[in-house]
Structure 1
Amino acid sequence: MARLRLVPPENVIFTTHLDVRVTDVNYGKHLGHVELIGLLHHARAEFLAAHGMTEIDIEGRTLLVVDLAVSYRSEAFFGQTLMIDIGMVFEGSRGLEFTYGVRDQATGELVAVAQTGVVFADPEARAVVQVPQTLRALIEEGVK
């Protein structure tokens, strides 16, 4: 498999800080890959909440993750605080790409880079719809 060439977000619109908990550490004594994905999810949920949204209600639409890519750059350990930067870019009229840069808060060392592709669905019609205007506006304004 070809190596991923992911880069941290260029236009950061949100930053949060999350601690690596003991339950996030695997048998290798570092942050596990499943747990990292959970931290990315948590960061995305914090971003939405900061703007009055949830993954199940963005203008009545539901956010659906359709793909995920992660490139690990260094280890993270129990007790470290991670700084997670989030960016967003349009992927056509119906999709967005969330990009993430995960760094050790103390040293600035890059721990991981990731992206999640998302679409939005009308839960009643069970159909994919256009990106909600609220998110379009946040991207265009570069809101933090």
Structure 2
Amino acid sequence: MPSTPESKYRTISRIQRALNSVTRRLPTQTVLETTGRVSGQPRRTPLGGRRVGDTFWLVSEFGELSHYVRNIKANPEVRVRIMGRWHTGTAHLLPDDDPRARLRTLPRFNSAAVKAMGSSLLTVRVDLRD
């Protein structure tokens, strides 16, 4: 039976949920904070990406299946913790951007994991305000 993007997402997200509860607490881990689209509560997701000036770039490995992407669609106001410091910003989903090309500009280890595990890559740009 072939693996679908949804089944791959479910399998990998189970593993990530267990790891994320630990990694989001690491002070140097980059974390994206969105507002839960149903609960209205802050939702923190450890991830990889890179700050370039006043912009933070990342690639979602499961695109619109990712909960944080769904949260961004409902409310694009986010916070990003980079090297222990929180920054507010507005997230933009960029379906026309080439996510594989974007990954080549982001940290290698995370980019390799996103390419290996992902199935519906989607570029996200966060315009930082502070």
**TM-score w.r.t. structure 1 length?**
0.27
User: Higher helix share goes to which structure?
Assistant: 2
**TM-score w.r.t. structure 2 length?**
0.29
User: Higher strand share goes to which structure?
Assistant: 1
